C-alpha cells in the first residue's frame, strides 16, 4: 500500500510500533514467568537485547522511508521543500562525483538550482535511508537531519544507544559472553519503546504541520 495520505502514514506507523511492542512485551512476559530459573534468565535477556536492537533499527528505517514516501506522494516541486528534502531530490536528479575538483562537476549543482527548482521533486524514499546495519547515535542524527526532525529529543539517549543498545548487541552478535539479567532487558525495553514512540510522534506532527515545506511556502 502506498503512503499517500496522513491516515495512510499514521496507520502504517501505528502498525509498525504495535507489532514490535507486542513481541518485546511477550519476551518480558517470558522473563517474568521464569525469574526463578537462574540459568534461563541470562539467555532470554541476551536474546532480548538482540531483538531490541533489531526492532529499533527496523522501526527507524521503515518509518523514515514511509515518511519520505508520504512527502514524495504530495507531488511538491523542489522550490517548496525544506533544504533537507531538497538535498535528497537534488542527489537523485544529478550524478555528482564529490571527490572531483572539476568545475564542471559543481556546475551540475548550479544547473539544478537554475533549471529544476520549479520541477516536481524526486525523493528516493526506497533508498534514501541507510542505517548502515549499525544504528548508532551519529547515524540516527544523520537520518533525523534528512527528515528535518528534532534530534534534541534523542540527545540524552546517545550513550544508551551507542554503549548499551548497539554496543551490547554487537558483543552478543560476535559471540562474547555478556552478563545480562531480566532487569536490564526490562529497563532497556522501556527506553527503546519510548524512543520509538517519540520518533513516531515526531513524524506524525511534522506531517500534519507540513514542516517538510520551506517557510515561504508554508506562509502561503
Rounded to an integer, the average pLDDT of 70-90 is: 93
Q: What residues does 213 pair with on adjacent strands?
A: 81
Rounded to an integer, the average pLDDT of 87-104 is: 72
The reported pLDDT for the residue numbered 99 is 62
How confident is residue 94, by pLDDT bands cut at 50, 70 and 90?
low
pLDDT tens, residue by residue, 26-58: 998 888 887 777 778 888 888 899 999 999 999
The reported pLDDT for the residue numbered 95 is 66
Least confident of 100-109, 116-125, 127-136, 195-204: 100-109
- 171: cell is 558483543
The 3-class secondary structure across the chain, one letter per residue, is CCCCCHHHHHHHHHHHHHHHHHHHHHHHHHHHHCCCCCCCHHHHHHHHHHHHHHHHHHHHHHHHHHHHHHHHHCCCEHHHECHHHHHHHHHHHCCCCCCCCCHHHHHHHHHHHHHCCCCECCCCCCCCCCCCCCCCHHHHHHHHHHHCCCHHHCHHHHHHHHHHHHHHHHHHHCCCCCCCCHHHHHHHHHHHHHHHHHHHHHHHHHHHHCCCECHHHHHC
Rounded to an integer, the average pLDDT of 107-130 is: 84
How confident is residue 14, by pLDDT bands cut at 50, 70 and 90?
very high
Rounded to an integer, the average pLDDT of 174-187 is: 83
pLDDT reading at 177 higher than 90 = no
pLDDT tens, residue by residue, 147-169: 999 999 999 999 999 999 999 99
Rounded to an integer, the average pLDDT of 176-192 is: 88
Give the span between the Cα atoms of 63 and 198, in whole angstroms. Answer: 12
Share of the chain above pLDDT 90, in %: 60
The reported pLDDT for the residue numbered 171 is 86
The reported pLDDT for the residue numbered 220 is 57
The reported pLDDT for the residue numbered 218 is 60
Amino acid at each position: 500500500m502506498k503512503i499517500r495520505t496522513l491516515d495512510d502514514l499514521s496507520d502504517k506507523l501505528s502498525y509498525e510500533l504495535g507489532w514490535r511492542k507486542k513481541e518485546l512485551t511477550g519476551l518480558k512476559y517470558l522473563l517474568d514467568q521464569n525469574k526463578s530459573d537462574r540459568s534461563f534468565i541470562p539467555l532470554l535477556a541476551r536474546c532480548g537485547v538482540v531483538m531490541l536492537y533489531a526492532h529499533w533499527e527496523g522501526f527507524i528505517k521503515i518509518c523514515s522511508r514511509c515518511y519520505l514516501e508520504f512527502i514524495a506522494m504530495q507531488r511538491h516541486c523542489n522550490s517548496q521543500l525544506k533544504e533537507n528534502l531538497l538535498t535528497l531530490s537534488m542527489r537523485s536528479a544529478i550524478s555528482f562525483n564529490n571527490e572531483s575538483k572539476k568545475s564542471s562537476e559543481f556546475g551540475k549543482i548550479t544547473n539544478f538550482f537554475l533549471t529544476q527548482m520549479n520541477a516536481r521533486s524526486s525523493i528516493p524514499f526506497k533508498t534514501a535511508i541507510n542505517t548502515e546495519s549499525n544504528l548508532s547515535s551519529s547515524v540516527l542524527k544523520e537520518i533525523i537531519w534528512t527528515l528535518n526532525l528534532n534530534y534534541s529529543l534523542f540527545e540524552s539517549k546517545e550513550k544508551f544507544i551507542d554503549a548499551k543498545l548497539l554496543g551490547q548487541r554487537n558483543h552478543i552478535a560476535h559471540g562474547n559472553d555478556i552478563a545480562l539479567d531480566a532487569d536490564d532487558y526490562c529497563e532497556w525495553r522501556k527506553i527503546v519503546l519510548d524512543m520509538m514512540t517519540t520518533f513516531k510522534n515526531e513524524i506524525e506532527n511534522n506531517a500534519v504541520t507540513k514542516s517538510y515545506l520551506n517557510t515561504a511556502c508554508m506562509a502561503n
